[in-house]
Each structure stands twice: as C-alpha cells, then as structure tokens.
A and B are shown apart, each in its own frame.
Chain A
Amino acid sequence: MQNVVNSLAVFAFLGMVISLFAVSALLKMVRELRRAVLATPVPATATVRRVARFASPDGLPTFVLVVSEQCLSCRERAARLAAIPPGLIRGHLTLLSASAACARWAEGADHIRAVTDADLLGSVAVGATPSLVRYAPDGTEEWRRVVGSDGDLERLLDMSESSNVSNVR
C-alpha cells in the first residue's frame, strides 16, 4: 500500500513538471503570435486628407465652411460669410452642406460657391458644425477649426500660415 502511495506521489510530481513545460510552451506560442501581430505592417493611411474638388489652379487657398441644416449657429456663420465683401480674402470661399436649404443661406453672394454634396461632406468628415477647413491649391487639407462665433470666423479667415493649427489630432 505504502509503495502505491509513494509511486502515485512521484507520478503526480512528474505530471506537474510536464504540465509546466506544456504551459511554458503555450506561453511562448502566445508571445510569438503577439509579436507576429504587432509586426504586421498596418496599411498606410493618408495622414493628410486631400479633396481634389477643392484644388484650385490659380494658386489661392480654398476656405470651406461646413454647415448643417439643424444648427442655428451654422446659419449665423453662413450669413457672416456671405456678408464678407468680395476680394477681401485672398482665397476661394465655399459653403459645404448636405441640404439645399443651407445653400440658400449664402444666396446673393456670388463670390461664395455653395456646394450641396452629401458624399463630399462625408469625405471631408468634420465632427462639429460649423467648421472651417482650409485647403491648399493642390487640394490638401491644411487645417480645420470649429467656428464658435463670428469673431472666430473673421480671425480664422485672416489667419496667416504661421499660426496654423494642425488638422490631425
């Protein structure tokens, strides 16, 4: 009887040692898998957004005010944008929205191009409206800012390149 108990104890100990080996082998596999996952190259995403539609051949930047319909402040900003006399700002002014009602907010101001295009709005991808986005002549986005007041709109439109804010968070 004593012999049986002794041999059982020895076998149990051996079994434990073997299972430890198994566990360490498993851990090694997990570690290798994790390393392999981390090493997989992430498909390169463009860090700078580019919208071909906002490229301009004359070398001037394009300011795009993105507005949405159910937004009082968008209406106020659009009205302020429409009140800017032509030629004051060196660049093209565009009002971008998804509904025709917004395009009418800038009616009468011929120097403002009103664009109604839900697909384009999606590719510009702003979080809050109204937002002002500045595009370089080749259509790359330079910066974007949420425009909270008419004063901010004026400040952003007059802003020189030196005080730009990065568009990528």
Chain B
Amino acid sequence: MPARTPDGRTLAVDGSPQPFTMGWSYMVWAYGEDGALRFHTAAAGARELIARHLGEYDRLTVREVSWNGARLVSHEDPANGGTTMLWIGPHHEVYTYVPGLNVPFEAFMAQLAPFDVRDAPDGVVLAPRAGSSTRLANLLAFNTLEGVCSVQVNPAAELPAPGGPGKRVRGGALWKLDERRADGRVLRSAVLANETTTATLIARQADDPRFAAVADSIKFKLN
C-alpha cells in the first residue's frame, strides 16, 4: 500500500519478500521565518511505545490536553531537561523535541500553527498554510524488515549516491559497503539509488542471504 509522506508525496514500495514491521516513520524539517524545526511523524502512540521500551516512560511527566479534536501530549523528561511535544490524531502522531522543562502547550501550538495537519489512514500530512512562508525539506522515511535490515529512504539528490555505476538491480543501482568494527563484527549496508529515492539498508546479520535477496528485489518510488 502506498504511504503518504508528511510533505504530501506518496512513497510506494514493492518487491519486498516480507512485510514491513510497522508503518513508516518520518522525520522532516520545517524551514520558517524563525529558523528550522524538526518534526517526526509515526503511527499514533509510537513515541509512547518507544519511551516505554527504553524504560524512560516512568520518569516522564506526562501532560495532556485536547486541541481542535486532536490530543496534545507532552512528555517532560527531567533527566535531560527536555520535553517531547506530541500531536496525536486518530491515526498518526506528529512530535517534536523542545529543550526545557515546563514548556507551555501554547509554544507547541505556535509551532504547529503554520501547518494544516491532515491525518488519514495512509499518513499524516503537514500542509503549510498559505502565507505562512514555511516549507518542508530533508524528508527521511524509516522502517524495518523484522530480523533482516533497517530501511531508510531519502528523496533522490538529498543524499549523495556513492561513486561508480553500481550494480544494476530491480530497484535501481545498488552499492554494498562492509565496515569492520572494533569487535570484529562486520556491518553491512547497501545503498539503493534510482530516479526518485536513495535508500539505505543496514543488515542485522552481514551474511544473511535474506538481506541480499531484499537488496536485489526491493523497489522504492517517491513522487
């Protein structure tokens, strides 16, 4: 199923031998009049799950209010003196990190105000409002194939492709890179570039035949 990216484009993936572990998570930068701001989007409740998984949820101060039908939640972490501000809609959530404690919700509302946030089952879109002089750039989509590899997709030309022609595979040109770490383990990654995307796959096990099969068959398309 094609997924909607936060800047309103469509990310289509086919040829994967196994389904993705989860829905796509995105990171995108919003460039406005007063600097740049990073937004993450994911399935609703994902940030809380991550915080619980990392074991930091219990020390967080959680606040919640309701704003135009969506939930605004703040996770205030005294350990690093920062606050994660979340907009949680019916399907997806948008969150950003604000340094400081006791950050008022109004600050986050002001950050979201230049956007028309539209949540739908196929993705949440941050549409800049007319006259807000804000634009979204540097999109990054993230997902995993359980037990095989992690997948990171960037729009083509936002990430430089390695030199050389690469190996011709179904999804474009493929480069493989092995890095030997200090403990002797090999970290194998693959870069898959085509006209619309540059994808980086990082294998869980370097010699996993499933990873080679994924790299040869998977195809990403962004419009």
Contacts and interface: CB of A to CB of B under 8 A. Distances in A.
Do A and B form a real pair? yes
Interface of A: 68, 70-74, 127-131, 145-149, 151-152, 169
Interface of B: 61-69, 71-72, 74, 104-106, 109
Given A128-B105, A128-B109, A169-B106, A146 B65 contact: yes
Contacts of B64: 72-73, 148-149
A152 B105 contact: no
A148 B63 contact: yes
Given A127-B109, A128-B105, A128-B109, A148 B66 contact: no
A148 B69 contact: no
A168 to B, nearest CB: 12
28 contacts: A68-B66, A70-B66, A70-B69, A71-B66, A73-B64, A73-B65, A74-B66, A127-B106, A127-B109, A128-B66, A128-B67, A128-B72, A128-B105, A129-B65, A129-B67, A130-B66, A131-B65, A146-B104, A146-B105, A146-B106, A148-B63, A148-B74, A148-B105, A149-B61, A149-B62, A151-B61, A152-B63, A169-B106
A73 B88 CA distance: 14
Nearest to B69: A70
A148 B64 CA distance: 5
B66 A127 contact: no
Contacts of B106: 127, 146, 169
Nearest to A69: B66
Contact of B65 (A70, A128, A151, A169): A128
B63 A149 contact: yes
Contacts of B105: 128, 146, 148
A21 B67 CA distance: 56
Nearest to B73: A148
A127 B106 CA distance: 9
Nearest to B74: A148
A131 B105 CA distance: 11
